Amino acid sequence: MNSHKKLNVGIVGLEFGAEFIPIYQAHPHAEMYAICQRTQTKLDEVGDKFGINVRYTDYDKMLKDPNIDVIHVNTPLQLHADQVVAALEAGKHVGCTIPMATSVEDCKRIVDAQSRTGLVYMMMETTLYSREFLFVQDLYRAGRLGKIQFLRSSHHQDMSGWPSYWDGMPPMYNATHAIAPTLGLAGHQAESVQALGSGSVFESMKAQYGSPYAIESTHIRFLDSDVGAEVTRHLWAVAREYRESFDAYGAVRSFEWSQTESGSHLIYLGESVHEIEVPDFADRLPKEIQSFTRAGVYGEGETEESHRSFVQGGGHGGSHPHLADKLVMAVLGEQEAYPNAVQAANITASGILSHASAMSGGERIYLPDWTLSDRQPLNIELDNDLQPAWKNETAIL
């Protein structure tokens, strides 16, 4: 790789998107070149704060800028498909916040556009780069969990006060934070889904999407595997503290997410349980952006804003600098984008089709073939003759 190469990055959407600006500014192979926001006052506020001179209120004009190499999309979810396809067709590499799209058809449009252009597309899924995920993935790859037997995840969030397009949205339309870690831990793909809808949202919310359920819970069957996952999501009318979580049950060790934000994550060795502190993984990043796993975009003495990613610490479990680095290195050809377009479609469509399953009484629905690749999951097998294997283990980790 040319160590002097710097990619010009443009960010569209400056609420959540602004949190990535100083990361790109500090990255040794990125130049935070341009920003785009429809509202001029917001655009200038952010541009002045971070010293960015190239500013657009018109996304189409931004895409015509020949100096931009990479577009990072952080706009409302209903805009993702059109904006991503437009960026790819304009010759720009793309990173886009979740979800990939809100329909299976739009996921296909992005997969086709990426294939047609050959450019990088990456869904910027935070849970796949959180310190908890990286920790459990390391345990699995080292054989410390043994054979994976089952995965469970959830995303509980009260969306009161969010923009009105969220009102009554099917919970599984925005479930990638919960689905992605169950598929990503061992590199599985979703083959089929079967879902249950339960409870009811407020009457005033039912009409916008025609979705009645307060909670949707789905079972995902993995392709070419005897393992599956259970995923639960809610947006409204459920009493629960905010929680993005996943649990991994292995033949030797299991990991369970803490029940509350102030609680501890747990490791089970056989039937014995141990509270653990998950380490940070900043050392996997260029030194210039390592500090962003532990802090937000705000300077010393500033008040952190109320986005939940920073309440949880360091940007969605420290994931933000990992995401930015992965995107940059993928565009430079040094790493593979993950999730790429096909992988993102498998994750996102699993949620969309789970809602369809819930609406049809739990019908089993298969993922389209174009969401599947020829990759094989990483299977850490355990000799069943050694069970109960945990009795041969001595260290918690």
* Residues pairing with 222 in the sheet: 190
Decide if 235 contacts 171 (C-beta within 8 A): yes
More confident residue, 329 or 396: 329
Burial (CB < 10 A; 0-12, 13-18, 19+), residue 153, is: buried
pLDDT at 377: 84
Can you give the pLDDT at residue 13?
A: 96
Q: What is the pLDDT of residue 375?
A: 81
Quick one: what percent of the chain has pLDDT higher than 70? 90
pLDDT over 70 (residue 63): yes
Least confidently predicted of 37-46, 193-202, 293-302, 364-373: 293-302
Task: Give the count of alpha carbons within 13 A of 158, CB side only.
Answer: 9
Say what percent of the chain tops pLDDT 90. Answer: 83
Q: Tell me what pLDDT residue 317 has.
A: 87
Model pLDDT, residue 313:
38
Q: What tens digit of pLDDT does each residue of 331-343 get?
A: 999 999 999 999 9
CA 221 to chain centroid: 20
- pLDDT digits over 25-49, tens only? 999 999 999 999 999 999 999 999 9
Q: Can you give the pLDDT at residue 117?
A: 98
Model pLDDT, residue 391: 58
Quote the pLDDT of residue 181: 97
Residue 304 has what pLDDT? Answer: 44
Mean pLDDT (the chain, rounded)? 91
The predicted model gives 228-250 an average pLDDT of: 94
CB atoms closer than 10 angstroms to residue 396 = 14
Say how far apart CA 206 and CA 213 lie, in whole Å.
9
Among the listed residues 70, 109, 99, the one whose alpha carbon sits nearest the alpha carbon of residue 87: 70
- Identify the CA nearest to 314 among candidates 73, 98, 121, 129: 129
pLDDT of residue 280: 94
CA torsion angle 301 306 308 314 (round to 10): -10
Q: How confident is the model at residue 265 (pLDDT cuts 50, 70, 90)?
A: very high
pLDDT at 190 over 90: yes
Tens digit of each residue's pLDDT (9 = 90 or more) over 302-331: 444 445 444 433 468 899 999 999 999 999
Q: What is the DSSP letter of 67?
A: T
DSSP 261: T
Mean pLDDT across 155-181 = 93
Q: What is the pLDDT of residue 4?
A: 58
Q: What whole-number distance in Å separates Cα of residue 175 and Cα of residue 93?
A: 25
Is the pLDDT confidence value at 381 over 70?
Answer: no
pLDDT on residue 311: 41
pLDDT tens-digit map of 285-297 = 999 999 999 865 5
Mean pLDDT of 61-74: 98
CB 192 within 8 Å of CB 364: yes
Cβ burial 96-131 (10 Å sphere, 16+ → b, else e): bbbbbbbebebbbbbbebbeebebbbbbbbbbbbbb
pLDDT of residue 209 exceeding 90, the answer is yes
Please report the pLDDT score of residue 397 as a whole number: 78
Helices (H), the chain: 21-26, 40-50, 59-63, 80-89, 104-117, 131-141, 176-184, 206-209, 308-311, 320-331, 341-359
| Mean pLDDT confidence for 105-124 | 98
Q: How high is the pLDDT of residue 202?
A: 93
CA distances from 7 to 90, 149, 235 (A): 16, 42, 37
